[in-house]
Each structure stands twice: as structure tokens, then as C-alpha cells.
Chains A and B, each alone.
Chain A
């Protein structure tokens, strides 16, 4: 058994007996998890365990799967009408008085779309969370529209999804799929899942897999052709829908959902960088989104407060930003807050970190905390990592941004100066990556690390030798770490901004000059950066975009992009520029 502590019961309906498992307190709202193909209810074991603390969680084996019995004969026994009967029978048994919150994956989601869009279930469904399984009726209309009024783009989308559906055609051939599943494919499947889908091993899939897969072929044969040819015209959802789209799904194109708002007016969209089997690979994220959606619909609200760009991706995620008390770090914290993320604002300046956290809460972060830590202090960083993991969870996005400026020729730079700048700019990043990267890797559910390097990382100069060295190290560290963590679904990005109008110029140290001259240079460089007037908010936008697209190195501002091109193609010109005295 992979569903620990589950209570079991059997529900008889339409000539079959369904195996139903329940977890959690029955007095709480009921969340019903419907599995897909080729699976049994155990596919949900990780998600169910996480939901059981808040909800009455109900799972059942779809007819012909797991320990539920199969209809006789098989042909015609798996129509969506019969599957709807099953759902109503289970719902009436486990939650007779209150509507249930449906969650479906793959074919479980295809079925649940039917449940959510037919008249006879109205009032029995409180909400529906769909992942990787469209409504066949919506799909039918989607195809019709593209066939009847083809534009190059529409034809492309059609061919794209057509290519992803190869297995659907195979499943329509008689007998062969059954033979394959009961034979070699059934044996190889766990390995295939591990290798291609990155599904962790353990007690999943269950031994019933070959029969599940063989019976389940009738799900396709009984429904797909009929519905795609004659899709229902009234397939409107009568409950709020949350659509979770894994962007790396090799079976379904996200374009399928382009016009979903027409069918499901109360729609919340979520995306995550993952493959098809998200209940196995991303249980934390799913449990968090389901919990939030169920809780808000129970509370009578349907839309979340966050409205910023990428709210579909970052809503509810835990984001930690260092140097969040000012400039780029603060703007980045705000941008994530607007996308609905939970924000940990870290800075060595307590007051400014608190301010960032407070404003983050006002613009969309469901929760935000301030932590006063010096990133160069190894012990303090270790304490922070422990506290964050224990109290807020594993960080989904880490932004190592804290940094200080140091200007002055190499010969004027003391070893003390060197130590200071390397301690913050390089060691701060190392500590962050080491501690939080380790937690991400151990959790095994992906994540992203952003390190703020600088255009100075690839632009030599006679004025910023120490600063540029620290940033070049950060750039290379990011590239190496990216290679190492790619296999675990953790992305790493180095951001390389040019001249950004922040406080850094007023706090930067200038070596080799007296205090008065230092003040003058700080003022002067602040003026110059002010004239350039590139706002940190735009760097923050680039940070979010880079995470969504998993970009490796992102120069921000025209001078940073131009410099990067020059460093590749005309390095000698850059060396000549490096010898010039700056206008300070």
C-alpha cells in the first residue's frame, strides 16, 4: 500500500465495484483526486498525503483500474456517461451533503471536465483543478476551428498537437496495445518513466499497471473518436476551474487551452516547468495550489489578488532575495510579490528589509518576511537556511543579489578591500547557492537560482579590478552550477546589468583617495548613473523573465548587451577601452 493510513470502502454502481480510499478529517471540505492513464489512484499518494492535513481527501480507482472491477464487456463500458455515473456514486457515498472539490490528472482530468460541464452534476462540484487532460468537447471545437478556418499559425498548432498525440492513434488499434502492455511495455514502463519523465522510483507504479493499461485503452476507444467528431456545444463549466499546465508536457500542447476562458469563465491559470507526471514529480507545488484554490473557493472568492506578470508561474511560490533592502533586490522582491509569490527579504540593513517585506504584502505577496543577515557571514547564512526551511519551506526561487561596489586601481586596492568585496559579492553567492541549492536538490522538485553578476564580469577596466573579478567569478560559478543542476530540474541564471540607477554608487568605496574625494566621487557617479536613469524595476522584470525561460546569462541594458557582443567578437577593442581613464 502506498496510501498510508487510508480508510477503504467499496462503492457499487452500474455493474462495477469501485475501490475508494479516504484520508483526513471528513468534516473538512472534500477533495476528490481522479487518476489518469495508465495509472491507479496510487499516482496521487504524495499529493494526498500533503492534502490530508487540511482536507477530507478521497481517491478511487477508475473502473477497470487498480482494485476496482472492470465492466463486462469492456467495449462500451468506459463511456464518459458511465464514468460520470461512477463519480456521482462515489461523491454521494463520501460527501452526500456538500459539493466536492475535483482534481484530475491526465484521463482523470478529461473525465472531470465532463463531470464539470454536464447538467446533472450541477451543485455537486465546488471547484475543479485540471492538469494535463483537456475536455474532449473543447478539444473537438479547437480542432474544428483550425480545420475550418486554417491560417498558417492554426495549421502549425494543429500539426504540433497532432504529433504529440501519436500514442492516441496507436491505442485505437485493436489488441496490439493490450499485448504490449501485458508483455514488454508493462515491464519496461517504470524504467521509461524514470528515464524520460524523471519520475522518482519507489512503490510507484503499482503491480496492477499491465491490466490498468490494457483496460484503459477502452477509455480512448469508447470516447475519443465520437467526441472529437461531434463535440457537445454546451460544454460550459459550472464551477470555478484551476488549470495547471506543465510546460514540458510531451503529450499536450499548451496551445490547447488558448481560448479556455470561453468555456470556463472563472478560470485561474497556473504553469510549471515540468513534464507530464506532475503528481509524482511536483507534489509540493500541486498540494500548495490545490490548497489555495480550494480554500479561496470555500471562502467565496475565485480570483487571487496577484495580477502582475507571470502570476500563473510564481503564485504561492517561495522566493528569497538577498540585498532586498534597496535597488535591484528590492525591485525584484516587489516584482515577485506582484506575481503572488511568498517573499523572504534578506538584507543586512534590518529596517530596509522590513520595509520591503511590508510593501510586498501590500502589493500581492500572500506572505512576506524580513530577515536581517549579512550574506558574507557563513554561520548566519546557515542559521538563515535552517530557519527558512523549518518555518517557510524549501525555496523555489533564490536570488543572490546582495553586493557592494569598490572602485580604484589595482595597486591602490588593499588586501582588506579585496577581502571585503570578495566576502560579499562572491562568498555571499557561494553560501546562498550551497545552502539553499542543497535544499532544492534534496527536495528533488526543481527550482531556480538567480545570481546578480554584472556587465563588469566580462568588461575589463582599470577602475574596477576587484569588483569585476568578483563578478566574473559569480558568472563562472553560475555557469558551472547550471551544468551541475540541470539534470535535477534546477535552473541557474546569471544576470549582468549595466549602469542601473540605485544606491550602490552612494555606498561604493573608492580606494586610493581621501574621504572628501571619496564623497565627491560617490556624488559624481550617482549623478552619472542618474543621468543614465535605467530603473532597477526593469532589471527585476528581466529576472522574472529569465526564470520563466530558464536563461543562462542575461545582460540587461544596451551597454551590457553591446559589451557582451564586443567581448565575444572584438575583445581587442574592449581592451583598448579598458585603458581609458573614467570621467570621475
Chain B
């Protein structure tokens, strides 16, 4: 459905196809290999949490966004969503401080544990909490590999090759290759909390620049988003 709607509006390629997870799949219960991300025939029922995540490419610009919610009231997921606010603040603050990505990753981890949750982005490919997004060449034919657009993968791979030479990586992971300060560019950041069969995450674009001014050195691309509005309303 989402695919068709966006196709009609000029989206010709995807960084990755839309994902939708329902119920305990939002916490990746029993996921062992990344292929289990793909849609199943599970139906959304009342009270079930869900997560939507898609990354359309429009005229060569990639957006990678994710959103969580539930059908009808779900107090537990509400709690998780509210607790994501602290992560959004922590990430921005530490990126502005130019802390190594790997350490920021570990701080996010620690905050999750203190909150009582499990880190579920660890289940993503390479355990990444974020990855760089870039311009993609528009091609008439753009096949997908396991749901990821090959054009975008090519971009990531070439970044990885360049980065490897200069000691940075387009993947923001818990591993040594992320032991470097944030690189300027667009990062799709997606902290994902899991708690006993319920999960919640957001995915947003974080803009990192080489500005000296801390305010300008990093900022969230858009502050008018459903989860951000919710936090503001709850105050």
C-alpha cells in the first residue's frame, strides 16, 4: 500500500522497502537472522503495538524514517515511547560534543539498561543504531537485495571503502570501526527499545555538519514529528 502511494508520487527507488512489525515482532522476539525482518501475514489486532519503517528515495534523496504506535491504547508501549525522548536528547548532545560514535552507542545502551529495556537495534544488520544516507543515482531499473535497494547499498559500500581508508564507517555500530567522531552528513538514527514482547523506536535524520557552532554542528532534520509532538503535549 505504502509502496503504491509513494510510487504514484515519484518515488522510484528505496533504500529499503517498507517494513511493518506488529505485536511481539516489534521487539524482535525470537529473531535470529536479519531475514526475519520481512513481513509475515500477521494481522494487527486491538491493543497491538506496531512499528513502521521505510526508506523511499525521491529524486535521488533518501529519507529513512520510522514510527511506532499501537492500535488502541497500549500503556506499556506509551511508556517506552516516552522513554525514547531521553535517547533523542542524549544522542544529539553527545554528537555535538563530538564523542566517538562507539561510545555514544554504549551510553545509549547503558541508558536502556537503566530504564529496564533491551537494546533491539542490536538485531539490525551489523547491530547498527544508525547509518549514513546519501544521494542515490536514479536508475530506470533498481533491483532489491533482501529488501534493500542496490543503488543505496552501492552508495553505502563506496562510503565504507572510502571511510575504511580514512578511519571511519557509514555504519554506527558497537564495534571498533565506529570508534571515531561523527562524520558530517546525513545519518538515519534509529534507537530501538524492547521490553518483554513490546518494542518501540523512532527513526529520524540527524544532520551533522562541520560547523564550529555546536547548535549548527548537529541537529535533527525535523522537529515536527508525531513522537516529538507527543512528548511536547505530555509536558
Listed in ascending order, the chain A residues whose CB lies under 8 Å from chain B are 326, 330, 334, 338, 352, 355-356, 358-359, 362-363, 503
Interface-centre pick from B76, B113, B195 (highest chain A CB count, 10 A): B113
Most buried by A among B79, B113, B114, B116: B116
A356 vs B75: C-alpha distance when bound (angstroms):
15
For window 43-65 of chain B, which residues contact chain A by CB distance below 8 Å?
A: none
Judge whether A359 and B114 touch: CB under 8 Å: no
Judging by beta carbons under 8 Å apart, are A359 and B195 in contact? Answer: yes
Q: Which residues of B contact A503 (CB under 8 A)?
A: 113
Residue from A330, A355, A356, A362 within 8 A of B76 (CB atoms): A362
Alpha-carbon gap, A214 to B144, bound state (A): 82
CA distance A358 to B75 in the complex (A): 11
Question: B75: which A residues are within 8 A, CB to CB?
Answer: 362
How far is A503 from B195 in the complex, measured between Cα atoms in Å?
A: 18
Sorted from nearest, which 8 A-B pairs have the closest CB atoms? A362-B76, A359-B116, A355-B116, A362-B75, A363-B196, A362-B79, A330-B116, A363-B76
Closest CB in chain B relative to A321 CB, distance in Å: 14
- Contact assessment for A334 and B196 in the assembled complex, using a CB-CB cutoff below 8 Å: yes
Which of A326, A352, A356, A359 has the most chain B CB atoms closer than 10 A to its own CB? A359
Instruction: Name the distance in Å between A334's Cβ and chain B's nearest Cβ.
Output: 6
- Please determine whether A355 and B115 come into contact, CB atoms closer than 8 angstroms: yes
Closest to B76 in A: A362
Chain A residues closer than 8 Å to B115, beta-carbon distance:
355
Min CB–CB distance B90 → chain A (angstroms): 17
B116, A338: Cβ atoms closer than 8 Å:
no
| Contact yes or no, B79 A359, CB < 8 A | yes
A363 CB contacts on chain B under 8 angstroms? 76, 195-196
Inside 8 A of B195's CB, which chain A residues have their CB? 359, 363
- Please, how many angstroms separate the alpha-carbon atoms of A503 and B116 in the complex? 12
* Residue numbers in A under 8 Å from B196 (CB-CB): 334, 338, 363
A167 vs chain B, min Cβ distance (A): 46
Among the interface residues B75, B79, B114, B196, which one has the most CB atoms of the partner chain A within 10 A? B196
- With both chains docked as a complex, state the minimum distance between the C-beta of A315 and any C-beta of chain B, in angstroms: 17
Q: B165-195 interface mask toward A, CB cutoff 8 Å, 1 = contact, 0 = none?
A: 0000000000000000000000000000001
Cβ < 8 Å to A, chain B residues 104-126: 113-116
List the A side residues contacting B114 at CB < 8 Å: 352, 355
Bound Cα distance from A359 to B114, whole angstroms: 12
List, sorted by A's number, 21 A–B pairs whose CB atoms are closer than 8 Å: A326-B113, A330-B116, A334-B116, A334-B196, A338-B196, A352-B114, A355-B114, A355-B115, A355-B116, A356-B116, A358-B79, A359-B79, A359-B116, A359-B195, A362-B75, A362-B76, A362-B79, A363-B76, A363-B195, A363-B196, A503-B113
Whole-angstrom distance between the alpha carbons of A334 and B196 in the complex? 9
Contacting residues, chain B, for A352 (C-beta < 8 A): 114
In the assembled complex, how far is the CB of residue B132 from the closest CB belonging to chain A, in whole angstroms? 27
Cα distance A352–B115 when bound, in Å? Answer: 8
- Report the bound CA distance from A358 to B79 in whole Å: 10
Closest chain A CB from B122 CB (angstroms): 11
List of B residues within 8 angstroms of A338 by Cβ: 196
CA distance A217 to B82 in the complex (A): 64
Within the complex, the shortest CB–CB distance from B198 to chain A, in Å, comes to 9
Complex: how many Å from CA A503 to CA B76?
24
**In the complex, how many angstroms separate the beta carbon of A359 from the nearest chain B beta carbon?**
5
For A338, the closest partner residue in chain B by CB is B196
Distance of A390 Cα from B196 Cα, bound (Å): 32
B13-37 interface mask toward A, CB cutoff 8 Å, 1 = contact, 0 = none? 0000000000000000000000000
Known: A334-B196, A352-B114, A503-B113. 9 other contacts (CB 8 A): A326-B113, A330-B116, A338-B196, A358-B79, A359-B79, A362-B75, A362-B79, A363-B195, A363-B196
Q: Nearest CB to that of A337 among chain B residues?
A: B196
Docked CA distance A358–B83 (Å)? 13
In the assembly, what is the distance between CA of A42 and CA of B105, in Å? 65
CA–CA, A377 to B76, complex, Å? Answer: 35
Shortest A490–chain B CB gap in Å is: 30
Q: In the docked arrangement, what's the CA distance between A246 and B196, Å?
A: 30
A479–B173 Cα gap in the complex (Å)?
Answer: 46
A326 to B76, CA, bound (A): 19
Kindly report which residue of chain B lies nearest to residue A334, judged by CB atoms. B196
Q: Which residue of A is nearest B78, CB measured? A: A362
Q: Point out the residues of chain B lying under 8 angstroms from A330, CB to CB.
A: 116
User: For residue A361, which residue of chain B has the nearest CB?
Assistant: B75
Query: Which B residues lie within 8 Å of A355 (CB)?
Result: 114-116
In whole Å, how far is A217's beta carbon from the nearest beta carbon of chain B?
Answer: 53
Chain B residues, Cβ within 8 Å of A356 = 116
Chain B residues 64 to 84 lying within 8 A of chain A, measured CB to CB, are 75-76, 79
State the Cβ distance, B83 to closest chain A Cβ, in Å: 10
Query: Closest approach, in angstroms, between the C-beta of A308 and any C-beta of chain B?
Result: 9
| Nearest Cβ on chain B to A520's Cβ, whole angstroms | 16
Q: How far is the CA of A535 from the CA of B110 in the complex (A)?
A: 15
**B79 closest partner in A (C-beta):** A362
Shortest distance from the beta carbon of A524 to any chain B beta carbon, whole Å: 15
Chain B proximity of A32: nearest CB distance (Å): 35
Closest chain-B Cβ to A538's Cβ sits at a distance in Å of 13
* A residues near B76, Cβ cutoff 8 Å: 362-363
> Closest CB of chain B to A526's CB: distance in Å?
10
